[in-house]
Amino acid sequence: ELEDGLDEAFSRLAKSRTNP
């Protein structure tokens, strides 16, 4: 679950960086 959460967190970070 932690791993899934981290995967998701990196996806959110990448999205926030491309569409701030």
3-state secondary structure the chain: CHHHHHHHHHHHHHHHHHCC
CB burial of residue 1 (10 Å; 0-12, 13-18, 19+): exposed
Shortest Cβ distance from residue 18 to other proteins (Å)? 5
- Contact between 1 and other proteins per CB under 8 A: no
- Contact between 17 and other proteins per CB under 8 A: yes
- Contact between 4 and other proteins per CB under 8 A: no
State the residues that interact with other proteins by CB under 8 A: 2, 6, 9-11, 13-15, 17-18
